[in-house]
Structure 1
Amino acid sequence: MRPEDIINEIRNRVDIVDLVRDYVPSLKQAGRNFKACCPFHSERTPSFTVSQDKQMFYCFGCNKGGDIFTFLREIEGLSFPEAAERLAQRAGVEWKRDLDGSLSAREKERTELKKLMAAAAGLYSKFLFSSAGKTALAYLRDRQLSDETIERFMLGWAPGGDAPAARELKSRGFSADLLFMAGLASTRDGGRVSDYFRERVMFPIRNPAGDVIAFGGRVLDSSEPKYLNSPETVLFPKRRTLYGLYEALPEIRKKNRIAVVEGYMDVIACHQAGAAFAVAPLGTALTSDHAHQLSRYSAEITVAFDSDNAGRNAAVRAAEIFMDAGLYVKAADFSPAKDPDELAVKSGAAELEKRLVSGMDPVEFKLRLLAPGGADKLSSQDKARLAAKLLDTVARQRDEIVKSEWLRIIAARLAVPEEALARQLAKSAPGDYVRPERP
């Protein structure tokens, strides 16, 4: 069968409405077409349309449009051959990657890197369940992780010694150059190949399609850095990648909610406790790229960072980033536990999910952070400064009804006129106010 015939066969078998709905659960029929908020940019009023008759999509807000191949390429960041292969699998059509005669050098590189990363994940898992990983496995079980959870998240162990991972992977036909490119090896002591990850519990990081694209590694002793992530590669854009997203997608689509936690173990603890809609940034501050990535899957976000002052301040900043992206945000409070992991262990799965689902509005959370003892004894000037910081959060809210409710809350808590707050808010845009001090 000619390549163009195979492409047409895939088009005939894959319905664009079914495909889009996998990524945009809110897609609803509107007359002959289907509509939803666009997964490619932040918006509150739906401007994204899908035509079942034409098998095309188009967004009147950002002007993206096309067929099933275009949609999958855009939503997953795939090349055409990668998208075609995925859609062929969905359609039950045989697809050969070299149907067009050749793959570009970049596509070949990505394909080989994916094979290498999958092999590395399997190898680290093998090490974990060997005598070399005895201490690491005991650590994970001491953290009350089940074997099912360890397997689901593909957890592993990178041993020390004379580059055991690099030697094994090279013996399987992967070149040293590819190991360097993947961030799995480096050179030391006059050019000798060394494992990049040594004596670390390994957390494979997967893209939304399930491909391993990077790793995080955690030491078991007090050495630094405690966590080490893969360097950026052609597979791994760190600023846009979230740990646990692949594992969380089924539950996110089911519940239309995402919990953003701080780290690897928090994600895993949430999933094991049944709150399998948790993801985490990779040891970096949350970015607008992360917010845009998550906006494709849900408009309901719960920020669930640690209970210390650093975690609470980070939660406020993260909530404001999500609000800037047009998302609805809550902030979870785990006190007296320090994080979701500890809460799940001490109070159980039901309490953890309750906290994640019934979080506080960002304004309430920020008020408790900045005035933990209440505002009753604050001077007029202190109230004005506190109000300015709270209004910075209010200004980011796009829903006018929610905004007015937040003004009412601030007015009541600070015992100041709501009209004065409204006038102050009208004078400024988000970011004009002073940010809360860091602890």
Structure 2
Amino acid sequence: MNSSDFVSLGLAEPLLHSLKDHGFTRPTPIQAKAIPHLLEDHDLIGIAQTGTGKTAAFSLPILQHLSEETSRLPAKGVRALILAPTRELALQIGDTIAKLSRRTKLRHTVIFGGVGQNPQVQALARGIDILVATPGRLIDLSNQGAVRLDTVTHLVLDEADRMLDMGFIHDVMKIINKLPEQRQSMLFSATMPKEVAKLARTILWEPVSVEVTPEVVTVEAIEQHVYHVSTADKRALLESLLKDPGLARVVVFTRTKHGANRLAGQLAKAGIAADAIHGNKSQNARQRALAQFKAGNVRVLVATDLFARGIDVAEITHVVNFDLPNEPESYVHRIGRTGRAGRAGIAYAFCDPSERSYLTAIERLTRVPLTVVPHASQAPRRDPRPVANQARPQPKRRAA
């Protein structure tokens, strides 16, 4: 099922106006495929990566259904529950719902750990139409009696494979066991490992499956370059690359939290505005780092894989894999931070001899050989421009 505009999807006028208000004119493939099924109350499995528009794909039908609801919501009750693996993704989903629901009377809130719970408890006290939550904090508040889950009519499990990777599936099942059996359920995941497929069979009833943007498509609009460089020389290479002002908004990925902190500090000492974001930082520190990066006050954000999915920052010009990930799928998610909204992104990979097997696995998955750059002085120095105005370069074969 596919549609070329939001009107043909069957959305109500207030939602169409909200979409127009925020410049959304045409549905993305996941929206065109998922929204009609969800409006008809089907359960759904969506295979889609971050950046494909999946948040609106599940939010718009929920908003439409809840706008038609006339029953009174009890104190501490919740109508729609959206579970997200990270605080950052939860906040991003909340931002999208805020935009789409502006012309409705529906109320939503976001709850997560790492901050005081009193404002969250107060927000839930009167009942809430849409609750976006991370599993741990939701379980805490449920155990305290601050929220009722027996009123939920819509459930969304977002980034299910990420939930699995982060060890949240046990918590998720605890939450699902508190929900009514009569509900509409949606599961979204970038990949479908056996454990996620098993979870889907457990929580969904006769689901419709939709799939968009396979891994190989994600990387097509991104120029990918690799430097074969020793670990000891990686920082000097990065600082050399950053002398080019064309690297205006850069995400650098490291394998460890300690490595992210150390590299951000070293770049700052070299006069490069940089900050780090990872799971050991407080929620306030992470939000502050993201805000500074979005505002352009921080040029380089050094991150672990926490940042690789679920975060949507506009106009990231370059991604640098300072350490290659040992899972090739992580590479795809990392470089997917750039090359968005019609822009051609640029990604650099620093490959130490010990990481050669990782590089081979990445190229096997993406089926796109990375262009080898022998020396820092030969780094491409093009600013990403809209794809429509720029011929896509042909990938070069990796040197033997």
With normalisation by structure 2, the TM-score equals 0.30
Q: Which has the higher contact order (CA 8 A, sep 6+)?
A: 2
Q: Which has the higher helix share?
A: 1
